[in-house]
Every structure is written in C-alpha cells, then in structure tokens.
Amino acid sequence: MKLYLDIDGVLLDYDSGGVADGAVELIEYITKEFDCYWLTTHCKGDPTTAVSYLREYFQDDTIELLKKVKATDWTDLKTEGIDFDSNFIWLDDYPFQAELEVLKNFGVSESLLKVNLKNEGELFRILSHLKEMKEKRRRRVRRAMYIILGLILSVIIAKGIWMSISNRTLGDFQSEKEDILQRRNYLIEKVITEPEKLLAEMPEAVGPQFQGEWALYSASMLSAALTNIAYIYPETRSESIQYIDSLIKIVISPELRRYDADRWGEDPLETLDGDVSHISYISHLAWMISGYKAVGGDGKYDKLYDDLCETMNRRILLSPGLNLQTYPGEFIYVPDMLVAIVALSNYAKQHNGKYLTTVHNWLYEMQNNWMDDKSGQIMSMIPDGESWGTRLPAKGSYSALSCYYLTFIDEDFSREQYELLKKNFWKDGRLDGFKEYYDRKCGLGFDIDAGPIILNLSPTGTAFGLGAATYFDDKEVRKSILKTAELAGFSVAKDNQRHYLLANVALVGEAITLAMRTAVPWNYQSNNR
C-alpha cells in the first residue's frame, strides 16, 4: 500500500519549530511497512530536496530511512501526485477544499488521515491507527489466501457428489504411480524456474508478502514430495536429489527471501548471528536441506544447514516458552513452530543427537502447556509472551497439519493426535473429510484458516489430514479423500503431466497435495564429515 507524506505540520511542528513528537517512530514504521511518497511543497519531482530540507531536524539514521521515500510531481493540487489506481493513505495537516473534492469524487475520502499536532500524542495516535489498519489488511490478505486454497479443495470434493467413479484405481502407491509422477512432472516444470518467475506464478491479488510465502511453501512442499517419492520409487532418487538441489537454490535467492526481510526489517540469511525470529523462512529452508541429505545429497549445503539449525536452536532457547513468532506482533502459530522442531529433529538424527534436547523440551512444554482441554488436540495458536492466559480452541486445519509434522518427531504422539483428529473432526456423509470445528456445526460459512466451509467440511484440514492418513497407512480415510478428489474430475493431463485445473490459481495447493499423499518415513544416516 502506498503512503503519501507531508512534512510541515506532520513531521515538523509549526508551534515548536522542530520535530513533531512521535515523528521518528512514525518514520521508522511507515518506511518499513508502506511504499512511501513525498506529497509536500518541498518535493516536486526530486526526493533529495525534501531530504536536504529535513537534515537539520533529524539524525543520520532517520535521514537514511527518509531516503527511501520516493518523489511525486504536481503543480497546483497535491492530488495530482496521487495514484488513484492504487490503495493509499495520505497524511496531511491542511488539505485544500479542492483536494478534498477530488478525493470525494474518486470515492477515497477515507484514505486521508488529517494530522493535527495540537492534539497531544497525535502522531502516536496516527501510528496506532496505521498499525491497526495494516493488521486488518494482512488478515484480509490471509483470508484471501485461504479462500483460494479452500476453493480448490472444496470444489474438488463437492463435485464428487455429482460424478461417477473414475476407472483409475486408488489407494496404494503402485496403482497411483503414474498419477503421482505426472503430477511431480507438472510441479517440477512450474516451480523449478527463475525466482522472479516463480513469484509471478503466485496470485498477484494476495500481495508481495503472501506471494513470497506461497512461493516458499510451493518449493518446500515440492521438496518434501520429491523426498517422499525417492523412497517410494527408488529409481527416482538421483533425479530427486537434483531437483531438490534446484529448489534449495531458489529458496536461498534474494528474491525469495524478500518477503521475510520486508516483515522483519532485515535479511534472514545475512543476520543469522542476531536474535530476530525469521523462524518460518529459516525452518522451511533447513527442512528442505534435511530432505536433500536424507535421500543422499552431497555436502554442498552442510555449512548452511549447520548455521540454520544453530540459529534456530539458540533463538528458541532464548525465547519465552520456547516459541518464536512467524511475524512480529502476531500469535505463535504452532504448526509454523513445528517446522523448526522438525528441522532440528531431522538434524539430530543426522548428527548424533545434536539439538535433540531442545526437541524433547519443546515437546514436553507443548504436551504440558499447549493442549486444548476439551479435544485433547494441540492448540492451534498461542499468544506471544510469557503469559498464556488466552487459550484458543484447536481447529481442524491446524490440528491436521500438526499431525503431519509430528510424524517426523514422535510417531507415537502423532498417532495419538491423529486418532483424536478422526474422533473430533472426521465426518462421513455426502462429503467425507475433516471438519474445522469439533464443538459446533457450520453448514455454510467461512473461517480464516479453513477457507469456505461446506456442510461442516474444512477444505484445508481435509488436505493436511491426508498427510497423516497416508503416513499411518489409514487406507479407509486416505482412499476416501483421494476418491472424492478423483470423482471431481478437475485433473487435466498433457505431455506426461497432470494437475488439478485450479493449480493455475494456487500452485501451492498442488504442491501441498502431492506432499501429503506421498507422506512416508525418511531414513537418516549419521553425518561422518
């Protein structure tokens, strides 16, 4: 989102003749979170004039931030410099009536935040408003993400009501071999490409952050699928190693790291010695390298693997409750933390038990503090900080994903959780699958995590539940889920490739499905280097 910024009466206080109270804090936030533009008489086409004007008021570190603010060019009205085709916020103390009319005519009057520095704490009020607005927008974007993924899965499942059973046999890896390998081929072509091209494959509507996330998850889930396939069909092992190698190179590219760097204000790989979380990006990369090593990959990533796991272990031990945020200012998402624990557990199996104590301690804390009392499932989200007063009930989508990740760490506990998942969330009927809520019905609705809910069904929970069903060889549940998918008939095939038609909308959904339907144990050898 763009933010247009005035100077006099906003950053500088007319009455004091100096920097407005809260201006530095405001600058630090907006230059990090917004695409900022000058909209001031001190800048008409050249951003350096504004920066030069402000040098006598702000310290050098703030001036460096202000250099990020871009120029606008206008003559009579500031609105001439606004891009009305984009979402924007405009901070100004005294807009002209003619400018207000322009905003009204475009239907964006609410985009103006009028600043009055005579009000005590005005810029802190503005800052709080921007943070709240930004968080709401992030939730809307996240909601859009789940809607798209949910639609893919729910439509596939729903159409199965109306279609007859296909002739293809489902239920075991041998009968599914052609289908699995063709879906692999499709994903290899779409995901293993130039980083910017992969990012461009992600829906533009979700915004740069979630495009980055989706690209990362597409790569990590395809990597997991390739590792699985190497064990299921051993003749594919050598090519799986090459493909996973390519995926790792994509993920460590600056282009893929950008989404995480933008949220945390620093690059995740250039700051491994620091204490900022970056847990989601780092853990997925480490998990991918663990799969590369598990199927026989060479030592080219050993140093990076060591550094990533050392960093995660150190940051987890320094954190309250052994948990780290995915992004600043948000809840702890337990499945996101589980990826880190999975990576450390895999590393321990490959390195004579190193970091295993952290894995065991995290599991102990989880089992004693982060369980939903009513369902017995792992909590989906927990508040950040030392107080765990707010307890959120377990949800089908997160519970199913946690079951899958736990297979890498503690099979017995994972199996217990999976049996509870079936008890609490599985539903038979016209639509077989996992529910999002265990304690209430929802015939038709929406959930931010599950997407659109149809007849109580959680599309996301059903997809992730396929992972544990496959791992534990639950033929009945697995076949039921795969059968409804096949009944839907949205698969298209061409040139030895196969994919769901809506993979063109959300490629990550195809990668997740392939990883889940091929979930098998990974074998490890101790590192002898």
Pairwise CA distance, residues 526 & 352, whole Å: 6
State both tokens at 101.
């009319």
Residue labelled with tokens 């910017």: 196
Any idea which of 91-100, 166-175, 285-294 has the lowest mean pLDDT? 166-175
pLDDT above 60 (res 155): no
Beta 2-5 vs 88-92: how paired, if at all? parallel
Q: Give the model's pLDDT for residue 486.
A: 65
Q: Judge whether 304 and 249 are in contact, CB under 8 Å.
A: no
Give tens-digit pLDDT for 383-438. 775 444 455 778 899 999 999 999 999 999 999 999 999 999 998 876 788 888 88
pLDDT digit string (tens) for 513-528? 899 999 999 997 655 4
Q: In sequence order, which residues have a C-beta less than 8 Å from that of residue 180 and are 6 or more positions away? A: 173, 229, 232, 514, 517, 518
The Cα 133–Cα 141 span in angstroms is 12
pLDDT for 140 equals 60
Could you report the per-residue pLDDT of 159-182, keeping only the tens digit for each? 443 344 444 556 689 999 999 999
Q: Is 352 left (phi over 0), alpha (psi -120 to 50) or beta?
A: left
Q: Is the CB of residue 518 less than 8 Å from the CB of residue 232?
A: yes
pLDDT at 44 over 70: yes
Least confident interval from 143-157, 279-293, 447-461: 143-157
Give the pLDDT of residue 417.
Answer: 97
Paired tokens of 253 = 């590219």
DSSP track, 41-67: TTBSS-HHHHHHHHTTTS-HHHHHHHT
Q: How far apart are the first and last CA of the chain?
A: 49
Q: Which residues contact 460 (CB under 8 A, 6 or more apart)?
A: 146, 149, 150, 153, 396, 397, 400, 436, 449, 450, 451
Q: What is the mean pLDDT of residues 187-193?
A: 98
Query: Of 304, 280, 163, which is closest to residue 214 (Cα–Cα)?
Result: 280
Structural element, H or E, at residue 434:
strand 433-434
Of the candidate CATH numbers 3.30.450, 3.30.160, 3.40.50, 1.10.760, the domain formed by 2-120 belongs to: 3.40.50
18 — phi, psi (to 5°)?
-140, -160
The pLDDT tens digits for 326-380 are 998 788 999 999 999 999 999 999 999 999 999 999 999 999 988 998 899 999 9
Angle ∠(201,220,523) on CA atoms, nearest 5? 155
> Residues of the chain with pLDDT > 90: what percent?
68
Name the E strands within 240-347.
332-333
User: What does the pLDDT look like over 52-81, one tens digit per residue?
Assistant: 999 999 999 999 999 999 999 999 999 999
pTM for this entry: 0.71
What confidence tens digit (pLDDT) does each residue in 210-231 have? 899 999 999 999 999 999 999 9
- On average, the pLDDT of the chain sits at 88
**Helices in 351-493 by DSSP H: which ranges?**
356-369, 396-406, 411-425, 459-471, 475-488
∠ CA 248-252-256 to the nearest 5 degrees?
110
Does the pLDDT at position 272 exceed 90? yes
Residue range 22-45: mean pLDDT, rounded: 94
How would you write 386-406 as a 3-class SS string? CCCCCCCCCCHHHHHHHHHHH
C-alpha 475, offset from chain centre: 30
How far CA 474 is from CA of 463, 470, 478, 502, in Å, comes to 14, 6, 6, 27
CA angle 246/463/152 to nearest 5° reads: 85
pLDDT of residue 147: 55
Q: How far is CA 337 from CA 53, 305, 405, 449, in A?
A: 46, 18, 10, 16
Judged against a pLDDT cut of 80, whether residue 143 lies above it is answered with: no
More confident call, 148 vs 440: 440
Distance between CA atoms of residues 389 and 25, nearest Å: 30
State the pLDDT at residue 389.
45
DSSP secondary-structure letter at 354?
T
**How many Å apart are CA 184 and CA 229, to the nearest integer?**
9
pLDDT, average across residues 104-129: 93
Give the least confident one: 363-377, 382-396, 452-466, 498-512.
382-396
Q: Which residues contact 239 (CB under 8 A, 6 or more apart)?
A: none
Q: Which residue is associated with the tokens 């009944």? A: 487
Selection from 400, 338, 397, 345 nearest residue 370 by Cα: 338
Considering only CA atoms, which of 439, 437, 432, 438 is closest in space to residue 447? 437
The reported pLDDT for the residue numbered 56 is: 94
Question: Residue 488: its pLDDT value, please?
Answer: 47
